[in-house]
Amino acid sequence: MAAYPNCPKCNSEYTYEDGTNFVCPECAHEWSTDVTEQDTDSLIVKDAHGNLLADGDSVTVIKDLKVKGSSSTLKIGTKVKSIRLVEGDHNIDCKIDGFGAMKLKSEFVKKA
CB-CB contact of 6 with 15 (8 Å)? yes
What would the pLDDT profile of 31-68 be if each residue is shown by its tens digit?
887 654 444 456 889 999 999 999 999 999 999 999 88
Mean of the pLDDT values across residues 7-30? 88
- How many domains, the chain? 2
What would the pLDDT profile of 41-51 be if each residue is shown by its tens digit?
568 899 999 99
Residues 10 and 52 in one domain: no
pLDDT at 64: 95
pLDDT at 36: 45
Task: For residue 57, give the 3-state DSSP assignment.
Answer: coil
In sequence order, the 6+-apart residues with CB closer than 8 A to the CB of 98 are none
Instruction: Please give the model's pTM, rounded to 2 decimal places.
Output: 0.62
- Looking up residue 15, the CATH number of its domain turns out to be 2.20.25.10
Which stretches of 16-71 are DSSP H helices?
none
What is d(CA 21, CA 103) in angstroms, rounded to the nearest whole number? 27
Residue 2 clears pLDDT 70, i.e. is over it: no
Residues 54 and 96 in one domain: yes
Question: Residue 62 carries which side chain, given as an amino acid letter?
Answer: I
pLDDT at 12: 87
